[in-house]
Amino acid sequence: MARASDTAYEALRSQIISWELVPGTVLAEVELSSRLGISRTPVREALARLVADGLAEPGGRGLVVSPVSAENVTELFELRQALEAQAASIAAERRDAEPFLALQRELREVPALLADHDPAHHAYYDLVARFDDAVDEAVGNQFLVQALDGVRTHLARIRRLSRDNPARLLDAAREHLLIVDAIVDGDARLAADATRVHLHRSLHATLDSLVSDEALTPEASIPEASTPSTSTP
């Protein structure tokens, strides 16, 4: 049976990543305890874990959901590039071609996936997750994989900035295919270089979306966690 603090943590983490709790939302223990039906001590423990994850931080009225800004997105991508380029290189060196051959076939079918009537593009992001899993498995380095997992938590949160841009998703799929091709061919240098190009383009697309996203504009009043903004996707 899950501990109450784990239940609270998973619920709040999911709501932050999905933007049900938008950046700047106050995370008040009393309101959260009432809404989640969990006592304050487990909620306090869950909030401490969210702070450690970088998803919450101290604000003027207690803890708040961490902001998403051009500065912290850029910093995240700097770390992401270092980790993912290294992971792709190692995957090419230690490759088991079979899972990547399957990914090659699926990545070529991305235009059909994006044509489906699914505004959240679940099938596309499931494919990206399987690409990540295949690289992690090929790398076989628990420390590198753990570091990547931490980065991916934040990447899942900023994913909404590109999900309404199918053209960018299609380009990203082509970039993923180049990485997979290099891994299958055992070309470690090309796998790393293709990863850097992909992340450079992804960063600029994300920053462009960030500038135009009204949901990230600071508001005069900050919503309480017990009443999440209905304007978030």
CATH of the domain at 121: 1.20.120.530
φ, ψ (nearest 5 deg) of residue 223: -70, 145
- Residues 112, 171 within the same domain: yes
Are 140 and 170 found together in one domain? yes
- What pLDDT, on the 0 to 100 scale, is given for residue 215? 47
20 and 74 co-located in one domain? no
Residues 62 and 139 in one domain: no
Domain that holds residue 127: 70-212
Dihedral-angle region of residue 57 (phi above 0 means left; psi in -120 to 50 means alpha; beta otherwise): beta
Q: Are residues 83 and 53 in the same domain?
A: no
Q: What's the CA gap between 21 and 129, in Å, rounded?
A: 23
Tokens of 149: 């997992």
| One domain for residues 197 and 123 | yes
User: Under 8 Å CB-to-CB from 20, ≥6 apart: which residues?
Assistant: 14, 228, 232
Structure tokens at 116: 């489906």
Given a cut of 50, the residues of the chain with pLDDT beneath it are 1, 214-233
**What confidence score (pLDDT) does residue 222 get?**
34
Who's near 46: CB < 8 A, 6+ residues apart? 5, 6, 8, 9, 12
**26 and 80 together in one domain:** no
CATH number at residue 47: 1.10.10.10
Contact residues for 52 (Cβ-Cβ < 8 A; gap 6+): none
> What pLDDT score was predicted for residue 163?
67
Given this model, what pLDDT does residue 213 score? 63
In the chain, the number of structural domains is 2
Report how far residue 224's alpha carbon sits from residue 232's, in angstroms, rounded to the nearest whole number: 14
Nearest-5° Cα angle at 200, 127 to 97: 40
Question: Does residue 218 sit within a domain?
Answer: no
Whole-number Å distance between alpha carbons of 149 and 169: 21
Statement to judge: residues 96 and 63 lie in one domain: no
> CA 223, CA 35: separation in Å to the nearest integer?
15
pLDDT of amino acid 225: 42
